[in-house]
Structure 1
Amino acid sequence: MTSRRVDPARLGVLAGVALALALLLPASTMAGSGSDAALWERFKERFVTSQGRVVDTENAMISHSEGQGYAMLLAVHFNDQAAFAALHRFTREALAVRPDDRLHAWSWSPASEAVSDANAAADGDLLIAWALLRAAERFGEPALAREAEALIDAITTHLVREQAGLRLLVPGPEGFVHDGVLTLNPSYWITPAFSALGRADPAGGWEALAADAHALITRAIDARTKRLPDWFALDADGAIAQSGVFDARSAFDAVRIPLYLIWGCERAHPALEAHRRALPAPEGYALDVDLDSGQTTMAGEHAGYRAIDRLTRGLDPRPARPATDYYPAVLELLALVAHEEEQTQCP
């Protein structure tokens, strides 16, 4: 499992030549407006194979637990039971291969047709569990709820730690604790999922996880750039520092934090104002910022950043033209869902 990086030459470039050779999921009857349904259909056509594999077109065409979880959530939102079934099947058969903890392997490679990174990623497992809970209710399948409950138990057992009086979700079961220092990724703290999993697991400490995540996100805002970091370190005394494992940067991971805060009815969180102030750049958006120097290392247009920018400003995030690569396309759809659910579910 690595931090997400995007080749700048690929921004805005058509992708998916290999996908054109694959059989794709069929269209289906869905909830939502016709334009929203069309966005989901386009996403499936470009990024989901008939086997239910979500293809990351900017990352060697691999599939990963994050992408599977996102697409499973979207399938439920759009009432697309056939797509959900295919996505769930691939996720279970290709990624649920860790016998000791029941978490999902992070990535699967089409080159080897096998798992390419067996470490689990906390956000992927959160998303999958959340999608299973939603699917169980929407499609009337109690077995999905039982599967979700088993995964929730695995998450709380293997991915939750106490440090300096805080209850924290660590990024994965291996490689993120060194000499008592935790390496943390705040974009993995999907607080609306915490709430949903907490309703299914009332004794799991999910309220504390959410409260401590919100507090740490505020503390982690970079004082100079006002940007949210992709990664940071937390020592045994609760002090925050730059990660010693990953570069000190604010980029394609951190952009998701405002999305999740709004989705979780936290529009007043200080991170949203920081995000709005730090995002613009003369060339479009500040896509990647070096937190050591304060310099923007990549700037330009990006459909996913645009959708989240509009979401944070209270504007409709629907795109005029859908994105052509996996990550911006999925951010567009997630921003749309967060926008709709904020309007209908947040006080």
Structure 2
Amino acid sequence: MKLALSLALGVAASAACANVLKVAQNAAAPGACGDWTGYRTFVERFVQADGRVIDYSTPTQQTTSEGQSYGLFFALVANDRATFDRLLNWTRTNLAANQFDPQNLRLPSWQWGRKADGSYGVLDPNSASDSDLWIAYDLLQAGRLWHDASYTQLGQALAARIARDEMTNLPGVGPMLLPGPEGFKSGGVTRLNPSYLPLPVLRALAHEVPNGPWAKLADSAYKFVKTTAPQGFAPDWAAWQNGQFVVDPKNGDTGSYDAIRVYLWAGMASPADPLAKPWLAALGGMRAKVQQNGFPPEKVSSTNGSASGEGPLSYWAALAPYFKALGDAHGLGLARTHLAALDASVPGREPVYYDRVLGLFGTGFIDGRYRFDESGRLVPSWRTACD
């Protein structure tokens, strides 16, 4: 359901690539300490005063639970508790109908925005499990880093609700995350999304909520990613049918704007995690393709490895941690050059939500603003390098 949105955003970003690269040489990457300019720009451009993250590129001026979850994460990395609380309160009020407390919790609706009659409200009440995972993670880490048990308790309650309502079991594989509670199991086919399963997030949930399915889910997720990437490329979507992973019947074997996050999450995992190296190895096709062509393809076939188009600048943001984790200095250098262009202000070019999100994840990581330890816990620079 989010793939079409991501595609639309990415196409718009691709068109601007050639022009913005011209400014790359004049932009400097920030260090791990000091003001995080990219984050401040994101808050100023995309976050309303009440804590709503707005995707202005959409006709409905929509807000997604994804946007809220990523905003919470960036606020935590920036040690910006005031913005964190605004984002959380808006999510509670508008996406969860004020039912977002440990004793009374519902999964947040994934899409909110302008309705056909001009009013604003929930556009799709289904939840998105990746966003729910990230929100649970954000809350658990906020509780630990800011020493506030109320965040921890809410994160634990949300994790329990995800385990109850957004999980299934695949025989011979183990527990698996559904993209949402409704609409992904039909006629013996279970549709799945590889980009919904960041290893550090799963590890942290296993650490903080040890009685849940999270450790086993990490193992299942690795099997899923490895099996559905036979050429080293992750698909946007895949499926489970007749006891095996198969090509998604709706979207085929294409890997593009959703799948680019699979490489991002793999690159951010702690090298000490026993699944980190094999997970990266399963995704080697993208590295090889960039080495061959000098740029990441916009779209790939996960089954035969064929590629087309040139990915937008934001792809480089997603791939920067991946190149860093692989020790690929050439790939990381290319990524840094392109990321300077992504961060630069170009007259007449409005920043795009999805670009900026990937940009913050990628640059924040390679610049040392945050990392994850072997248990998936967030290690922000304000707790270490900037003391």
Aligned residue for 1:82? 82
- Report matched runs for 1:1-347 at 5 Å: 1-3=1-3, 4-6=6-8, 8-11=11-14, 13=16, 32-34=32-34, 37-60=36-59, 61-97=61-97, 102-111=106-115, 112-165=119-172, 166-223=174-231, 226-237=232-243, 239-265=244-270, 266-269=276-279, 270-279=281-290, 284-289=295-300, 296-300=307-311, 302-314=312-324, 315=332, 319-321=339-341, 322=343, 324-339=351-366, 340=368, 345=373
Displacement after TM superposition at 1:9 (Å): 3.8
Mapped partners of 1:53, 1:101: distance in 2: 20
Mapped partners of 1:125, 1:202: distance in 2: 18
Which stretch of the first structure deviates more once superposed, 194-203 or 264-273? Answer: 264-273
Q: TM-score, normalised by structure 2?
A: 0.76
Counterpart code for 2:74 = L
Mapped partners of 2:214, 2:126: distance in 1: 23
Unaligned runs of 5+ in 2: 18-30, 271-275, 325-331, 345-350, 376-387
More helix by share: 2
Identity of aligned residues (%): 29
Aligned residue for 1:18? none
Residues 222 and 229 in structure 1, CA contact (< 8 A), matched pair in contact too: no
Displacement after TM superposition at 1:46 (Å): 1.5
Displacement after TM superposition at 1:140 (Å): 2.5
Mapped partners of 1:229, 1:98: distance in 2: 36
Which stretch of the first structure deviates more once superposed, 47-56 or 4-13? Answer: 4-13
- Work out which structure has the larger RCO, using CA pairs closer than 8 Å and 6 or more positions apart in sequence: 2
The 3 A distance-change label for structure 1 pair 271 and 6 is farther
Residues 50 and 90 in structure 2, CA contact (< 8 A), matched pair in contact too: yes
Q: TM-score, normalised by structure 1?
A: 0.84
Residues 52 and 68 in structure 2, CA contact (< 8 A), matched pair in contact too: yes
Which stretch of the first structure deviates more once superposed, 124-133 or 199-208? Answer: 199-208
The 3 A distance-change label for structure 1 pair 327 and 9 is closer
The 3 A distance-change label for structure 1 pair 280 and 234 is farther
Alignment deviations for residues 290-338 of structure 1 (CA, whole Å, 9 cap, x no partner): 55886545424x2221122232221376631417211111111112344
Aligned residue for 2:25? none
Residues 122 and 171 in structure 1, CA contact (< 8 A), matched pair in contact too: yes
Displacement after TM superposition at 1:242 (Å): 1.0
Counterpart code for 1:147 = L
Displacement after TM superposition at 1:5 (Å): 1.6
The 3 A distance-change label for structure 1 pair 188 and 69 is same
Residues 319 and 362 in structure 2, CA contact (< 8 A), matched pair in contact too: no
Which stretch of the first structure deviates more once superposed, 44-53 or 266-275? Answer: 266-275
Residues 258 and 271 in structure 1, CA contact (< 8 A), matched pair in contact too: no
Runs of 4+ in 1 over 6 A off after TM superposition: 98-101, 341-344
SS in 2 for 1:5: helix
Which stretch of the first structure deviates more once superposed, 156-165 or 1-10? Answer: 1-10
Mapped partners of 1:89, 1:267: distance in 2: 38
Displacement after TM superposition at 1:246 (Å): 2.6
The 3 A distance-change label for structure 1 pair 276 and 292 is closer
Residues 176 and 217 in structure 2, CA contact (< 8 A), matched pair in contact too: yes
Counterpart code for 1:6 = A
Residues 143 and 152 in structure 2, CA contact (< 8 A), matched pair in contact too: yes
The 3 A distance-change label for structure 1 pair 346 and 254 is same
Residues 98 and 105 in structure 1, CA contact (< 8 A), matched pair in contact too: no
Unaligned runs of 5+ in 1: 15-30
Displacement after TM superposition at 1:138 (Å): 2.2
Residues 250 and 288 in structure 1, CA contact (< 8 A), matched pair in contact too: yes
Alignment coverage as a number of residue pairs: 326
Aligned residue for 1:23? none
The 3 A distance-change label for structure 1 pair 175 and 281 is farther
Counterpart code for 1:320 = A
Residues 227 and 250 in structure 1, CA contact (< 8 A), matched pair in contact too: yes
SS in 1 for 2:212: coil
Displacement after TM superposition at 1:346 (Å): 5.2
